[in-house]
């Protein structure tokens, strides 16, 4: 009896003195919950937690599963990686810390207990990498002739794989014209606010495609990144003239105007009938107002009209790709000077609404017809356009006038006469229909 008591006491004392020792197989160490997998952005800190019950005298170790590299045993860090450390609270919570995770840290981490056989559980460390452009495979600014095709590329790396979208900096839509297939000769035109994909291909490029494009790469890991790529579309100057014939009485002020489109920017100037370039003076004011990167409104104001001012005035535009000019005829009308202001129609604002369809010269011609179909014969005293204008006084020496080279034909050409014909023709057909209608009605009544 006393013998048994002594043994029991001995056991009890041993348990009290060595509570952590490997005593009694009844309480084998166990994991009390699995290790959470971690997804950590590159450069941030990661912590795996291994929860253990009844550790007893056993030890907890951390091993990187793929390399078999021992990270730590109990409270001691074994690996030489200075970014690895361990911590614990009592014997149940064991932490492995990795500071500023790097790509090579990714993988399975194993928490082991040195029982026999060994017990272990693993947790996966995934590293997220914010997007980054591959400079070699990402486009820079491009310069292209009108009608050509460009392919812009933005190749982005990152984990998970980034998605690339394109948009225009000015918020306008992007026009994608799919190449015609063998069967279907037509271009499929698609207008999108945003285009998805690493490559943006624009075919049959038009001046309206000109501008800054942004490619934006995102993969859910901040920060998202973007790159700005500008497309410069080059074309020879083109001139639109809203009023080719301008009538005004003596003694009044009159404004003549031409709209120029050119890229690169053109040199713009006015020339008199005698071939002399007009510069700003007390009698003449020369203005050039930028409407967009490639559109300029040229205004020539002649003050206090004198007899010798009547005649033709030519606006001309010249860039590296060509030159064009256009003549406006200023003639005298009788009567007292009219002082009311006639508003100049905002040509470009109108155009902007259907800019999506302008490409190729055929389309442009159509557009012009539309512009010309407005009354282009007589304007009385033209009001002075609102200013805020930047005057430009070119200093170039002028050659004699040259036949126009752009798509503009001679001012007295087909276009104006065409449009002059359209209106009466419509009137005639409407009257004709009315007469037929009335005749039929009369017959019915009889």
Ligand X SMILES: *[C@@H]1O[C@H](CO)[C@@H](O)[C@H](O)[C@H]1NC(C)=O
- Which contacts (CB < 8 Å, 24+ apart) does range 44-47 have? 44/100, 44/101, 45/97, 45/98, 45/99, 45/100, 45/101, 46/97, 46/98, 46/101, 46/105, 46/125, 47/95, 47/96, 47/97, 47/98
Cβ closest to ligand X, residue 37 vs residue 441: 37
How near is the Cβ of 125 to ligand X at its closest, in Å? 10
Separation between Cα atoms, residue 348 and residue 261, nearest integer Å? 11
The label of the residue with tokens 């276009």 reads 415
Which residues between 366 and 385 bind ligand X (CB under 6 A)? none
How near is the Cβ of 261 to ligand X at its closest, in Å? 22
How near is the Cβ of 396 to ligand X at its closest, in Å? 31
Which residues between 127 and 186 bind ligand X (CB under 6 A)? none
**414 contacts ligand X (rule: CB under 6 A):** yes
The torsion angle over the Cα atoms of residues 110, 116, 117 and 123, rounded to 10 degrees, is -10
Please, which residues have CB within 8 angstroms of residue 117's CB and are 6 or more apart in sequence?
Answer: none
Q: Phi first, then psi: what are they for 50, rounded to 5°?
A: -115, 120
How near is the Cβ of 330 to ligand X at its closest, in Å? 22
Cβ closest to ligand X, residue 37 vs residue 191: 37
Separation between Cα atoms, residue 420 and residue 330, nearest integer Å? 19
Spatial CA neighbour of 334 closest among 444, 248, 207, 242? 248
String marking each residue 23-62 x if it binds ligand X according to CB under 6 A: -----------x-xx-------------------------
How near is the Cβ of 422 to ligand X at its closest, in Å? 15
Find the part of the chain contacting ligand X (CB under 6 A) among 58-66, 275-283, 410-418, 433-441. 410-418
How near is the Cβ of 351 to ligand X at its closest, in Å? 24
Cβ closest to ligand X, residue 341 vs residue 418: 418
Cβ closest to ligand X, residue 35 vs residue 382: 35
Whether the link from the prior residue into 113 is cis, omega within 30° of 0, is: no
String marking each residue 325-354 x if it binds ligand X according to CB under 6 A: ------------------------------
Cβ closest to ligand X, residue 96 vs residue 174: 96
- By CB atoms closer than 10 A (0-12, 13-18, 19+), residue 153 is middle
Find the part of the chain contacting ligand X (CB under 6 A) among 1-9, 322-330, 391-399, 411-419. 411-419
String marking each residue 95-124 x if it binds ligand X according to CB under 6 A: -----------------------------x
How near is the Cβ of 348 to ligand X at its closest, in Å? 27
Cβ closest to ligand X, residue 150 vs residue 364: 364
Residue 290: other Cβ atoms inside 10 A: 12
**Residue 297 and residue 313 in contact, taking contact as beta carbons nearer than 8 Å:** no
Q: Residues touching ligand X: how many (CB under 6 A)?
A: 7
How near is the Cβ of 316 to ligand X at its closest, in Å? 22
**Cα-based angle 120, 122, 126 (whole degrees, multiple of 5):** 165
The label of the residue with tokens 């194993």 reads 110
Find the part of the chain contacting ligand X (CB under 6 A) among 58-66, 213-221, 223-231, 413-421. 413-421
**360 contacts ligand X (rule: CB under 6 A):** no
Cβ closest to ligand X, residue 20 vs residue 417: 417
Q: DSSP code of 92?
A: T
How near is the Cβ of 143 to ligand X at its closest, in Å? 33
Please, which residues have CB within 8 angstroms of residue 279's CB and are 6 or more apart in sequence?
Answer: 286, 393
| Given 20, 413, 428, 437, the residue binding ligand X (CB under 6 A) | 413
How near is the Cβ of 131 to ligand X at its closest, in Å? 23
**Residue 146 and residue 206 in contact, taking contact as beta carbons nearer than 8 Å:** yes
Cβ closest to ligand X, residue 145 vs residue 160: 160
N- to C-terminal Cα distance for the chain? 143
Separation between Cα atoms, residue 21 and residue 23, nearest integer Å? 6
Q: What b/e sequence results for 198-217 when a residue is b if at least 16 CB atoms lie within 10 Å of its CB, and e otherwise?
A: bebebbbbbbbbbbebebbb
The sign of the dihedral angle between the CA atoms of 311, 260, 368, 235 is positive
Cβ closest to ligand X, residue 37 vs residue 341: 37
Residues of this chain that bind ligand X (CB under 6 A): 34, 36-37, 124, 413-414, 417
């Amino acid at each position: 009896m006393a013998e048994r008591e002594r043994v029991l006491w001995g056991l009890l004392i041993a348990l009290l003195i060595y509570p952590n020792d490997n005593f009694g197989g009844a309480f084998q160490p166990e994991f009390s919950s699995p290790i959470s997998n971690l997804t950590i952005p590159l450069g941030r800190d990661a912590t795996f937690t291994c929860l253990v019950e009844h550790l007893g005298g056993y030890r907890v170790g951390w091993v990187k599963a793929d390399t078999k590299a021992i990270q730590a045993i109990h409270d001691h860090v074994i690996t030489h990686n200075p970014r690895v450390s361990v911590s614990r609270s009592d014997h149940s919570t064991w932490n492995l810390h990795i500071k500023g995770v790097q790509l090579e840290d990714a993988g399975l981490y194993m928490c082991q207990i040195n029982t026999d056989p060994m017990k272990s559980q693993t947790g996966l460390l995934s590293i997220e990498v914010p997007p980054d452009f591959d400079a070699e495979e990402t486009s820079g600014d491009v310069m292209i002739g009108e009608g050509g095709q460009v392919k812009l590329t933005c190749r982005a790396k990152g984990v998970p794989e980034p998605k690339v979208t394109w948009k225009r900096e000015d918020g306008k839509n992007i026009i994608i014209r799919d190449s015609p297939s063998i069967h279907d000769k037509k271009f499929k035109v698609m207008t999108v606010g945003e285009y998805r994909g690493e490559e943006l291909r624009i075919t049959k490029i038009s001046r309206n495609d000109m501008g800054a494009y942004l490619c934006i790469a995102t993969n859910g890991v901040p920060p998202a990144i973007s790159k700005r790529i500008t497309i410069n579309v080059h074309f020879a100057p083109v001139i639109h003239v809203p009023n080719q014939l301008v009538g005004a009485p003596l003694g009044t002020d009159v404004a003549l105007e031409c709209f120029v489109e050119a890229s690169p920017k053109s040199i713009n100037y006015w020339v008199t009938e005698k071939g002399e370039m007009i510069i700003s003076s007390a009698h003449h004011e020369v203005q050039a107002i930028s409407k967009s990167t490639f559109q300029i409104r040229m205004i020539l104001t002649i003050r206090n009209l004198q007899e010798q001012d009547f005649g033709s005035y030519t606006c001309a535009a010249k860039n590296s790709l060509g030159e064009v000019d256009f003549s406006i005829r200023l003639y005298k009308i009788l009567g007292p000077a009219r002082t009311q202001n006639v508003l100049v129609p905002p040509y470009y604002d109108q155009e902007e609404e259907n800019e999506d369809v302008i490409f190729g010269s055929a389309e442009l011609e159509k557009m012009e017809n539309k512009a010309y179909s407005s009354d282009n014969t007589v304007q009385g005293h033209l009001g002075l356009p609102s200013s805020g204008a930047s005057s430009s006084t070119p200093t170039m020496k002028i050659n004699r006038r040259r036949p126009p080279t752009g798509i503009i034909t001679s001012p007295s050409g087909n276009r104006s006469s065409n449009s002059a014909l359209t209106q009466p023709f419509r009137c005639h057909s409407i009257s004709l229909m009315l007469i037929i209608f009335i005749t039929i009605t009369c017959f019915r009544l009889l």
